[in-house]
Structure 1
């Protein structure tokens, strides 16, 4: 068994309840972090970036670094970063062995990791296994479609493609469509995508595709509901540029919703249940399927397209590099 997985099994799964709190608690973010301008990019993705409890200690790398300064240490940390922030974290920390923690990273981001990182992390992906004994299943009546509107998360072309596919799915299954389109500031790159009015464009596209009677759902209503058994959900696009671990996905899954596209079954992977409905697969980053690292060529492109800063001194990237990461994503 992979030694990192063995640590998780010993300390986080089979540990007596009286001892387990020595190893978990990374979701307890100090209040001053919410006013830290270095973390604006994270909070600008709310509610996707909201904190949640898990024995795997889910954290964004910037929050992880701030917590270590305060003396917080955990045996493993599930990094929630998207491709951009994870790449910068790896570039700034070329030797993962200097950390006390072992890291869990979404399998879609293995392509940006150098070999030394691949040898010292494990990968994860979600699984969905609803248990009828816990909650009786209900017939599906709704499709909830959610995406962040900030020019970085999705552009008009992507939105049109996804919305059309989702309309076909909803029509085929006789589903009502609810849209969740929170408008957020772009904290990722210095120039916009071709869309200059993302909020207007996406709303217009949604009405064109789904019809003028399309209903919208707010952050508050989305998060306050605790029963989504009658719903499918779709988080778009699933490109992991901005974040790779989405609070809303966990919220949907643990409350009975079903992804509109089923997760793949990973044979032989170690499974960690996070609720009665879902969990994560953990598997070796050096599996044959994940050896095609593109770190060297991405690093070269990154150096040729230097970063800049906005008024908050937040690290921003060039739009070309953002698009380059998207083109080279393994998703």
Structure 2
């Protein structure tokens, strides 16, 4: 029987939402599986998270053997003999100067990826990540399977209950934690000088405490940037639905669900011009260089696309499609086993 190994995370993150979505989707599809959750315990030193990968590897070792096929939903939870691993991104390998700075980082990423990259099949969420694995890590194409991530359409839809003040300002919204690659520092600087605009930043601090503190100080000084922290899905949907624009300046992503969730709410998006976003959002969003991001915001405000067209695009990323494609992959393993 299929075994799903997933991280048990207390704080919101892309990995947490992915795991919850896959477990829920398989259950609703009545597909038989066992699941094993491993808790991640990490602490912050100088605003940087430590210990999470080590704690997960220890929790994995305690369990012992698993039924096959085994699908690890994150690479750091790959046991010996793992069959399928989801690789969300290889950003540390593409930007080593930003992510692999010392002995601890090298050891952590080696522990995270060594077993994972030997799995029979690696599931990736975009053709771009597939290409990166082939070109940078020499993974054969026949071991890679592109399965786009999905959104829960029961949570993300047009909601007219606006949480924004009726103050005549342009309301921008962005979503994410304070990971440095999200580049909220640049976004804050762009918006801080636009007094006819307000930026609402939704997302948890997670372990990035020092960075969150610095950006919080900048937000207070600006007077038009508001950090809302973690919100429930209802509040998140309402902020996304009623914003004038969703803005996202991240300089590296494996997929990037928030822009798709914004499209599902009928909201126009302005994004950093990354290959990932060209693939997932394409002409349904406004893509911009960082240097011209402020100009692109102004252009997007004057040339907004039809909300229903945006919503139609987002439906291509519904969870049901994602689960159907995963089940098809699992059945391939069952056929070989028979």
- Scaled by the length of structure 1, the TM-score of the pair is 0.43
Q: Which structure would you say has the larger RCO, counting Cα contacts within 8 Å and 6 or more residues apart? A: 1
Bigger proportion of residues as helix: 2
- Scaled by the length of structure 2, the TM-score of the pair is 0.43
